[in-house]
A and B are shown apart, each in its own frame.
Chain A
């Protein structure tokens, strides 16, 4: 695979230079994150930050805790019994685990896309409109229509579904379903989008389509993507973090990680010694 393939940036955000600081201030800043499932510790003291308007990829062998870490960022771990998160996650300077922050509002600002496309058992339209409805983002029917159209357009799905908005979401193909889920996340006007292996259930063509979309979305959002495919990380991300056994081993500019890793373990993983 051609690791040098870099998505065309609009020049404003990320410079390819290895040591250049991120252009935007960190959107999310994690300090000493520890996650426990009952007595087992899944994440050990991870500190890292995510810049705005850039894609950060989390890579690592399966079971290394990258998905668990991702789920901390919108407090999805709250829904799992006996899961405990310690440490500070600052979003725009505010601790998201603070008691005063409601997870429901947090999640409206931090969208998430899952491994397997999971459209609701509703029409395409209602799938998109659901989020704006519960959060009261639309003032009327026309407003809602506009949000749906805009979200679908941004997810690059509008042309394919505009004539059948009332068809069930499950009637779409796998790749379309995943774009529908992305559109659904966008519709709530999040600032951050988390993606948990969004292409692992898709064929190469659909994967390419999603990757293009991610690159498009980078202009507006802070994106964190977990992927098991190093090629994908290299293709879509500007920054990459390597996890191993619940530890953050290395974090840096994607190009630096893939061409000149500082850690032996990172190099071993990238060159395919394990994982």
Chain B
């Protein structure tokens, strides 16, 4: 019986029940309010609908709380209970092994396809289903109790003078506030989860070795010196900015100072397409077109240098995936981030400044270079910072086109690895959460988060200051 209940589609069931309770509560409240209106001659303070909403609020909030508690806790509670009931033989399993075992139990239970497996497994799965069934029925009962209780409590309060509307509106405001707080919760979630796992990691690997070690070999040797990753990230971001900064800036200058409104109306959206292309597409482009081109170019340079006699052996690594290829494509991706914000700030420079320069006999380019750009400089710097932050955090292009060897090399045609590449390769393996490999990904994530946050905060500050200055 309990075992059968373990199969209940709880997600749909809970949502459906909440909907049922909500509509029942609404009509209860509304009908009650209409009765009050019919029985007495007095006027209602709030319209009957608001009484309905009020009762709904009281019925639904406990139901939602129960549903949330179930969604968050059911799986871990049932697994915990199951683990405590497992026969002593299971104590031999390591934590990740136990985790995998429980995963397969849960999977088998979900798919109902475990007939014919070994007896212990079948028994464990049955027991798991029983526990889950118990939890399911408990959740449903609790939900019903909460909803009905809330409904009756709320219904009792309804009266002609009852200020249902203001209470409903206050409740609504609470919901709105809760939604806004999700932003803080997300940030807190990021910081806490990154810190929590990183602290565990730093208890195994000293933070000093992590930040300044020069050997990274997380997959095989358990060496966690992340300096080569920082170097690779920096190098590729640098190449990207060498592409994006001049192109983005000159595009912005051309669009805001030189181009006519028609050209502007066409070019600006087209440039912004570059920002809308998924990064995986850029990654494929890098892999398909740019990396082979970079490689052929490097080989040609090598051969030429040797032929001319300037070098006796190949100078450039000319690898099939390279920092240069990834950096170039990333640069293209980042162009709109530079151009669009720069364009905004250049447009915000007051016309009077330009007039001042023209009136002195400055040419257009002198006006732009000596007056407009310096005036817009804070905003331009902010745009560049945001672009750098984007480049550092970019993942797919480097995963596909930058390579995986952690090394410190000034040769842009060699493959370098980055923080994000390593996070992906560490997290896509089949390792548990207590493995230093997995934990190191979180330490890398923490560094990434901290650095990009710093850039973003500075950039946003600068932009805000700038806006205040000219608004």
Contact = CB atoms under 8 A, between A and B. Distances in A.
Contact of A105 (B355, B356, B361): B361
Interface residues of A, number: 29
B352 A120 contact: no
Given A114-B352, A120-B370, A134-B366, A76 B358 contact: yes
Query: Nearest 10 pairs between A and B by C-beta?
Result: A112-B359, A108-B361, A107-B361, A118-B352, A131-B360, A118-B356, A121-B375, A104-B361, A121-B374, A120-B371
Nearest to B371: A120
B355 A118 contact: yes
Interface of A: 74, 76, 79, 81, 104-108, 111-116, 118-122, 130-131, 134-135, 181, 184-185, 188, 194
A135 B352 CA distance: 21
Given A76-B358, A107-B358, 6 more contacts: A114-B359, A118-B352, A120-B370, A121-B371, A134-B370, A181-B356
Interface residues of B, number: 20
B355 A114 contact: yes
Given A120-B357, A121-B375, A134 B362 contact: yes
Nearest to A106: B361
B315 to A, nearest CB: 44
A79 B360 contact: no
B431 interface: no
Residue of B350, B353, B357, B359 with most chain A CB atoms under a 10 A cut-off: B359
Interface of B: 260, 350, 352-363, 366, 370-371, 374-375, 377
Given A79-B354, A118-B350, A107 B374 contact: no
B252 to A, nearest CB: 18
A126 to B, nearest CB: 9
A120 B374 contact: yes
Contacts of A106: 361
A116 B374 contact: no
Contacts of B371: 120-121
B355 A184 contact: no
A115 B355 CA distance: 11
B356 A188 contact: no
B370 A130 contact: yes
B360 A130 contact: yes
Contacts of A81: 260
Nearest to B370: A130
A185 B362 CA distance: 12
Contacts of B350: 118
A131 B358 contact: no
A194 to B, nearest CB: 8
A131 B361 contact: yes
A158 B362 CA distance: 25
